[in-house]
């Protein structure tokens, strides 16, 4: 990788964004012998995946961290670069803490006698049934597409139940998976996403599902390995400010230089695409799609302790909190050798908005108070404490991913979701059909965009 400097480059393909999608697209093209330049706004690669070794010696993942067994593309890349994983800790009793302070300890996916548990399972089974009707490659071909997309998830849930406990469970599920409130998200998008993961359980559970394992060297290790392989093709600290295309090619400008290419792959989240000035302007459907795809709002907070003391008390450290305090979900994020104890707390959506507006001291007190409800008052005295408030990070504007609001798919999905705009192709996890929203989806989107570009090249006998 090179340090930022003035440049004027000619290449066959320009890739914008060095997250998993952009790096994969560039690596696929480079392996085919195509010349490629990657422009990345930040001073690092990895995008929404970022690992850090803390002063306490513990490595934490501020962004994406888990990998599941059916995330085949991510697994293949991790294996190729020798990046090892270890199972997520889930031994011991999980806890549910309700708004009235009630605490339920349980093992397994749900407390069988928990408030609203049976009805919640009925509704999530219904989600799975409806998700099986989704056409992942051509979502607009799904039966009842426009009708399902008109509803918000909240409208669907309220049509199914008026039980407040069930609604609280469903809300936390939406917050935990999409970092949004049920009123904000298209019900069709929920179904699409469930289908894209292979079922509701895949999204929610740990063993055998999306939260199955973590990386010994951080979840960005694979991205760093891809970037090393791409070498000087990757330019950091180079936000693309404008892109102009005509019949001959694409020209991208940054503050430091310009890149001219035959084609471009833009691999940045929908929520930040419009920070680039396009000439000619993007078509109406693409703009409509982008404007119906806001980013989720999430913070990840890590508290580090001398040891995972909750394990000795028979607790897993896994908790769901339905109350007014900021934290929605807690996991044990200790290193594999348990040399320290680490709890990670997730703060989502409306609760994030309220918590993020507090001063640093109040934020910390509120999170530690929530952790103490889960594992006891020792949680109030961490060795180390680290927050990452994703909506405040410059170049991705939130996390985990963008989600479609009601009417977005039916109004603009067909032409706006991922169809190329002239010589500009679109990648990024939000364009994936499988594991949309996840690292695995980012990787497959990079592969698809690279294949689109290569197909144009083969069709024309050259890159035109």
Nearer to ligand FAD by C-beta: 25 or 167? 25
When asked if residue 140 is in the footprint of ligand FAD (CB under 6 A), the reply is: no
Q: What's CA 196's distance to the chain center, in Å?
A: 14
Contact assessment for residue 371 and residue 330, using Cβ atoms and an 8 Å cutoff: yes
Pairing state of beta strands 277-279 and 242-245? Answer: parallel
When asked if residue 167 is in the footprint of ligand FAD (CB under 6 A), the reply is: no
Q: Which residues of 36-64 are buried (b: 16+ CB within 10 A; e: fewer)?
A: bbbbbbbeebbbbbbbeebebebbbbbbb
**Residues between 189 and 228 that touch ligand FAD (CB under 6 A):** none
Least distance between ligand FAD and beta carbon 164 (Å): 28
Taking contact as CB under 6 A, which single stretch among the options 44-52, 101-109, 129-137, 353-361 is the one that binds ligand FAD?
44-52
3-state secondary structure of 444: helix
Instruction: Out of 30, 42, 60, 180, point to the residue binding ligand FAD (CB under 6 A).
Output: 42
Nearer to ligand FAD by C-beta: 307 or 353? 353
Contact assessment for residue 313 and residue 418, using Cβ atoms and an 8 Å cutoff: no
Instruction: Out of 14, 16, 37, 352, point to the residue binding ligand FAD (CB under 6 A).
Output: 16
How many positions of this chain bind ligand FAD (CB under 6 A)?
41
When asked if residue 41 is in the footprint of ligand FAD (CB under 6 A), the reply is: yes
Least distance between ligand FAD and beta carbon 258 (Å): 13
Instruction: Out of 399, 406, 407, 413, point to the residue binding ligand FAD (CB under 6 A).
Output: 399
Q: List, as one string, the DSSP characters of 336-389.
A: TT-SSEEEEEEEEHHHHHHHHTS-HHHHHHHHHHHHHHHH-GGGGS-SEEEEEE
Nearer to ligand FAD by C-beta: 167 or 321? 321
Pairing state of beta strands 59-61 and 93-97? Answer: unpaired
Least distance between ligand FAD and beta carbon 387 (Å): 11
When asked if residue 264 is in the footprint of ligand FAD (CB under 6 A), the reply is: no
Nearest to 436 by CA among 151, 154, 136, 200: 136
Contact assessment for residue 322 and residue 166, using Cβ atoms and an 8 Å cutoff: no
When asked if residue 326 is in the footprint of ligand FAD (CB under 6 A), the reply is: no
**Residues between 418 and 437 that touch ligand FAD (CB under 6 A):** 428-429, 437
3-state secondary structure of 177: helix
When asked if residue 73 is in the footprint of ligand FAD (CB under 6 A), the reply is: no
Residue 414: is it exposed, middle or buried by C-beta count within 10 angstroms (0-12/13-18/19+)? middle
Contact residues: ligand FAD, CB under 6 A: 16-22, 39-42, 47-49, 63-66, 239-240, 267-269, 272, 275-276, 298, 300, 390, 395-396, 399-401, 428-429, 437-440, 442
């Amino acid at each position: 990788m090179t340090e930022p400097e003035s440049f004027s480059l000619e290449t066959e393909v320009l890739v914008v964004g060095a997250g998993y999608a952009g790096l994969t697209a560039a690596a696929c093209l480079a392996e085919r012998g195509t010349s490629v330049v990657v422009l990345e706004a930040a001073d690092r690669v990895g995008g929404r995946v970022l690992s850090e070794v803390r002063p306490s010696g513990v490595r934490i993942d501020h962004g994406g961290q888990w990998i599941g067994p059916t995330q085949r593309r991510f697994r293949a890349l991790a294996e190729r670069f020798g990046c090892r994983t270890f199972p997520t800790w889930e031994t011991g009793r999980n806890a549910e803490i309700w708004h009235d302070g009630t605490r339920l300890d349980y093992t397994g996916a749900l407390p069988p006698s928990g408030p609203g548990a049976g009805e919640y399972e009925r509704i999530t089974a219904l989600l799975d049934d409806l998700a099986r009707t989704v056409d992942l490659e051509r979502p607009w071909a799904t039966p009842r597409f426009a009708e399902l997309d008109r509803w918000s998830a909240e409208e669907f849930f309220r049509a199914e139940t008026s039980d407040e406990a069930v609604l609280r469970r469903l809300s936390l599920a939406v917050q935990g998976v999409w970092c949004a409130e049920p009123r904000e998200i298209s019900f069709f998008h929920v179904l699409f996403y469930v289908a894209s993961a292979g079922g509701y359980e895949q999204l929610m559970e740990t063993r055998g599902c999306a939260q199955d394992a973590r990386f010994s060297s951080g979840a960005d290790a694979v991205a760093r390995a891809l970037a090393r392989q791409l070498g000087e093709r990757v330019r950091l600290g180079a936000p693309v400010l404008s892109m102009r295309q005509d019949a001959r090619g694409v020209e991208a400008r940054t503050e430091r230089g310009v890149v001219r290419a035959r084609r471009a792959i833009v691999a940045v989240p929908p929520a930040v695409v419009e920070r680039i000035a396009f000439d000619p302007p993007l078509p109406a459907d693409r703009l409509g799609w982008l404007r119906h795809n806001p980013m989720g709002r999430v913070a990840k907070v890590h508290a580090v302790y001398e040891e995972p003391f909750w394990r000795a008390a028979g607790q897993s450290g896994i908790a769901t909190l339905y109350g007014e305090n900021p934290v929605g979900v807690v996991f044990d994020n200790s290193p594999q050798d348990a040399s320290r104890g680490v709890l990670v707390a997730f703060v989502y959506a409306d609760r994030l908005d309220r918590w993020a507006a507090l001063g640093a001291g109040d934020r910390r007190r509120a999170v530690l108070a929530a952790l103490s409800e889960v594992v006891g008052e020792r949680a109030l005295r961490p060795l180390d404490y680290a927050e990452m408030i994703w909506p405040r990070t410059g170049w991705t504007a939130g996390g985990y991913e963008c989600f479609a609001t009601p009417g977005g798919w039916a109004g603009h999905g067909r032409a706006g979701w991922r169809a190329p705009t002239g010589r500009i192709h679109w990648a990024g996890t939000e364009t994936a059909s499988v594991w949309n929203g996840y690292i695995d989806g980012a990787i497959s989107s990079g592969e698809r965009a690279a294949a689109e570009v290569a197909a144009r090249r083969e069709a024309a006998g050259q890159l035109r």
